Structures are given as C-alpha cells and as structure tokens.
Structure 1
Amino acid sequence: MDESTDFEELASRVRTQSEDAAGSDTDRVTIRSFQELTSDSLSELLEAAETDASEPGSLAFVLSRANAELLSEREADLESVEDLENDLGREIRVEESMPDDTILLLDPDAVDGEELLEPESIACGIVGSDH
C-alpha cells in the first residue's frame, strides 16, 4: 500500500475474493458483514483475521474518514483515531478514497497497489447503512 493505491478499486477487488466462494480452492479473503460500525465490530473482524493471517501482528485497519469520525462520535471513550488504535492494538489508516461501506484489515505487504498478493492476510468488513 502506498499513496498511489486506489482504495475504492482495492476494496472492490477484496469484496469479490470471499474465502467462501463456491468451487474455489485458492486462498481467499476473510469477509464479515456488520449491521453497524462499532469498536466491537472492528474487534470481531480482527479476531477473524488473526486466525488466518500469516503474520497477525502486522495487520492494520484501513477506514474511510467518515467511518473514523463515526466511530469517534459513537464510542464515548474514543476521542480520536489514536484512542481507537490503542484500544484495538492495531494501526489505523484513514484514507480519503476508501468506500464508507467497507473496512479493510490487512498486512500492508499483502497488497501491491490494487493487486492482492496474500489474500489470506486480508479481512474485509462490509458495513450496513447505519450512517
């Protein structure tokens, strides 16, 4: 991941790589759906990803600015992204081009631009429209 990564395109590619895809025996992305965005839903995504990732300690969240702000508003004990990072024990990147209905949790080395190099080290949260 770098400044040139198109996060909208990356999120689109990730969303089509479900580990539950029928007839596929290749490594796939872990995908979870959430009704609303909370720190608990991020923790649930982290727990799911840690079991599949080759290096779970390197996982980082990628959120849209709107989702980062929503979490700060919704969670009384979280006043900033740094508070959320401390709570989850993971880096959080806020990216302008990240779609609001998607949360990514990945090893930064698992992608190159929009190409998925290590799908097993990527988790995707699909968020309902609770905004």
Structure 2
Amino acid sequence: MMIFLAGLAGIDRGLYEAATVDGASTKRRILHVTLPGLRPVFAILFVLAAVRAFRSFTEVFLLTNGGPNGSTEVVMTLIYKLGLEQNRLGVGSAGAVLLFAATLVLTVCVQLLRRRRAA
C-alpha cells in the first residue's frame, strides 16, 4: 500500500484538473489518468511479487515440508532437500543458480518493457 500511495502522490494533479475541465467522470479519470500513472508501480510490484513467489520457503517448510507427496513443493524447498537433506550439494547449488537466473531474467524483461513503453 505504501508503494501505491507513493505512486499516487507522483501523479500530476494538473492531469486530474484537465480531465475535470474536459468533463471526464470519476470513472474516466481513474481509467485514463490514475491507472496509466500507476503503470511503473504495477511493474515494480509485479517484479517484487514474482521474486517473493520464487523465494517462498519458510511458510512451506514450516507448515508442510513439501506436503504429502510433494504437492506443496516449491523451488526453494526442492533446493533445500536436494542440497542439504540428500547431500547433493552440486545439484542444490545448480538449482539456486538457475533460480537466480530466472529472477534476473524476469527483472530485466520487466525493465526493458518499461523502458520501451516510456520511449
């Protein structure tokens, strides 16, 4: 919510005034002023949510430890089990590097899309 509030504070008030003068309803102002102004915020939150989803470990490990038959297994618990419980450190570290690469690729793609749209 703090990121959304910061994004809302960054939208120029003159745009809202111009939309009001042009006769735009509240719905139109939200659709054509607020949401486009919050595009960078949505991009940042998308990256943060994706990184958080990739790196979720504590909740799954403490609550289910991968669940019955691996039904709640996530990448981080798989890396933990392979690397530390089964003592296959090479496979675990390779999984961690792949997770880092996936996170990096996701972040770079979102940044490139943001720059392309801004230009």
TM-score (norm 2): 0.27
| Higher Rg | 2
**Structure (1/2) with the larger strand percentage:** 1
Which structure shows the bigger proportion of residues in helix conformation?
2
Could you tell me the TM-score, scaled by structure 1's length?
0.25
